[in-house]
Amino acid sequence: MKNLTRFFFISCLLFCSVKSRAQQGGWISLFDGKSLAGWKVGDNAETFSVKDSMIVVHGKTAHLFYDGNVQNHNFKNFEFKADVMTHQGANSGIYIHTGYQQGGWPAKGYEIQVNNSHTDWRRTGSVYGIADIKEVYVKEGEWFTMDITVQGKTITVKINGKVVNEYTEPADLHRTGGDAERILSSGTFALQGHDPNSLVFFRNIMVKPLP
């Protein structure tokens, strides 16, 4: 009985230590590395799978929305980061301040582009269609860290620790039509599956809520 109690005690210590490291500095993991628990996808769900502690994105157009318990999947000010790797010709993106949709391109929030060699000229780090960049900062087939911070009305995008884009919404911003919800408000995150020819990997997906 003593041995069993000791086993559970040690197991608890190890679990708490891992959890503490994961949340060190206010960072909270959004992906358990084993499954898509806490994430939700509508149409073409087969586009997303988990392998070797990575989310693999490969298939028809689809979007994987964070739907977990952290902040009740509703974030306003935050720092988000993920390790990303793209293959030749791949296109993807990370949506912020968005909301679940069954299909189509998310109408709410902004897309931060992931694209190093696709035919679309808007490259990794662009605030898609709003503050686009043409420079390529990373190579295909290599892991890089994308960091997205939203504080007030400003979006800051870093690649491997370097600021590559910063966009501040005008105080008098008013969008119409299909872009009416393309604004900063609050919401969740989504990973984009762009097309069947795109192969992209995500891992170490984390968020740090900010005041």
CATH classification at residue 71: 2.60.120.560
- Does 205 lie in the same domain as 171? yes
In tens, the pLDDT along 118-135 reads 999 999 999 999 999 999
- Does 6 lie in the same domain as 38? no
* pLDDT recorded at residue 24: 72
- Does 164 lie in the same domain as 134? yes
- Does 114 lie in the same domain as 148? yes
Q: Is 160 left (phi over 0), alpha (psi -120 to 50) or beta?
A: left
Instruction: Please state the rounded mean pLDDT for residues 136-164.
Output: 98
- Does 42 lie in the same domain as 15? no
| Mean predicted lDDT score pLDDT of the chain | 92
In tens, the pLDDT along 82-117 reads 999 999 999 999 999 999 999 999 999 999 999 999
Q: How many domains does the chain have?
A: 2
Residue found by looking up tokens 């069954």 in the block: 102
In tens, the pLDDT along 159-209 reads 999 999 999 999 999 999 999 999 999 999 999 999 999 999 999 999 999
Which range of residues forms the domain containing residue 68? 31-209
- Does 170 lie in the same domain as 125? yes
- Does 90 lie in the same domain as 10? no
Residues paired with residue 69 on neighbouring β-strands, in sequence order: none
- Does 95 lie in the same domain as 53? yes
- Does 121 lie in the same domain as 177? yes
* pLDDT recorded at residue 23: 61
CA distances from 195 to 34, 63, 138, 145, 172 (A): 24, 11, 21, 22, 35
The pLDDT > 70 percentage for the chain reads 89
Which residues, in sequence order, are CB contacts of 50 under 8 Å at separation 6+?
A: 33, 34, 35, 36, 56
* pLDDT recorded at residue 28: 98
- Does 55 lie in the same domain as 156? yes
- Does 183 lie in the same domain as 103? yes
- Does 8 lie in the same domain as 76? no
Q: CA nearest 208: which of 23, 21, 31, 9?
A: 23
